[in-house]
């Protein structure tokens, strides 16, 4: 029988602080910023527990009432309204970042449930996924930008482009409020609990994507789209291209780009951008001429 994946949602509210007592105050402040403040800050965490199994004769993979009570007993009752740094002994050794909390929740639940994924939202624009792979985790930032574009091939007439792209081929373009989700992967640091510095992650998004692309006419303002039609698919690939190296530079790898153009249209690309043979040749030529 085919496997089926189910998810159970739960919530808890808790506070935490990023602070390493073994390093000087100024180094903590430089590393963690406002997250060093005391009293600590808090979040309304949302937890999704992903489980997999075969559907039994009751029509269920697992009894969801049992799942609910297990999650409450092993996780949410213990963490709700707690100071996470002191709630569980694991957070004394490794700070309670979003990605590390997800990892430790997996460890607390894996003996009781057939887990396939733990997703933990610190807030709606930041979440982590953990799938039981030692210290490997994923971290996602959700953000947005507004831009205009026109879909048309320069080699075709307006009439021909209209056959392909419909109203999107109109000469003066149109705009969207794009929703963007960027996920990175990496190893959780055994002391800081971070797979990458969150502020560096956000800075990379700002520098290479949001600042250059927000409130632009993509065809005219982004040189890449002078030659490439700025469909949602091509925009996602462009973002993948410009972020691959900056994400490497902060010690992680690009996992996926999800671009939501409208409630009806979205696309995803996965992994790092792979240079084509032509692009490799161009890069080599530029390197030799430098």
Provide the annotated active-site residues: 168, 215, 261
Residue pair 228/234 in contact (Cβ under 8 Å)? The answer is yes
Cβ neighbours of 49 (radius 10 Å):
24
Which residue is associated with the tokens 């982004």?
222
Helix (H) or strand (E) holding 62: none
List, as own/partner pairs, every contact residues 82-86 make where C-beta atoms lie below 8 angstroms and the sequence separation is at least 24, other chains included. Answer: 82/14, 82/15, 83/14, 83/15, 83/16, 83/17, 83/40, 84/14, 84/15, 84/16, 85/16, 85/17, 85/19, 85/40
What DSSP letter does each residue of 222-256 carry, written as one string?
Answer: SGGGGTS---HHHHHHHHHHHHHHHHHHTT-EEEE
């Amino acid at each position: 029988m085919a496997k089926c994946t189910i998810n159970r949602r739960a919530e808890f509210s808790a506070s935490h602080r990023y602070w390493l007592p073994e390093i000087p105050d100024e180094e903590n402040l430089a590393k963690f910023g406002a997250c060093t403040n005391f009293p600590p800050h808090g979040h309304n965490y949302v937890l999704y527990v992903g489980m997999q199994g075969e559907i039994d004769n009751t029509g269920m993979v697992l009894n969801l009432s049992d799942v609910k009570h297990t999650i409450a007993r092993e996780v949410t009752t213990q963490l709700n309204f707690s100071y996470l740094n002191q709630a569980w002994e694991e957070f004394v050794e490794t700070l309670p970042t979003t990605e590390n909390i997800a990892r430790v929740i997996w460890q607390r639940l894996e003996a009781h449930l057939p887990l396939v994924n733990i997703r933990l939202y610190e807030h709606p624009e930041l979440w982590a996924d953990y799938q039981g792979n030692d210290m490997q985790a994923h971290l996602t930032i959700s953000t947005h930008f507004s831009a205009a574009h026109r879909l048309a091939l320069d080699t075709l007439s307006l009439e021909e482009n209209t056959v392909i792209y419909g109203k999107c081929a109109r000469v003066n373009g149109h705009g969207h409020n794009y929703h963007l989700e960027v996920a990175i992967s990496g190893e959780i640091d055994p002391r800081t609990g971070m797979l990458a510095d969150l502020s560096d992650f956000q800075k990379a998004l700002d520098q290479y994507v949001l600042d250059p692309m927000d409130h632009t006419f993509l065809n005219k303002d982004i040189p890449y789209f002078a030659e490439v039609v700025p469909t949602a698919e091509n925009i996602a690939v462009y973002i993948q291209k410009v972020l691959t190296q900056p994400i490497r530079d902060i010690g992680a790898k690009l996992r996926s780009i999800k671009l939501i153009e409208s409630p009806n249209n979205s696309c995803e690309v996965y992994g790092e951008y792979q240079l084509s043979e032509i692009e490799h040749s161009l890069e080599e030529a530029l390197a030799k001429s430098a």
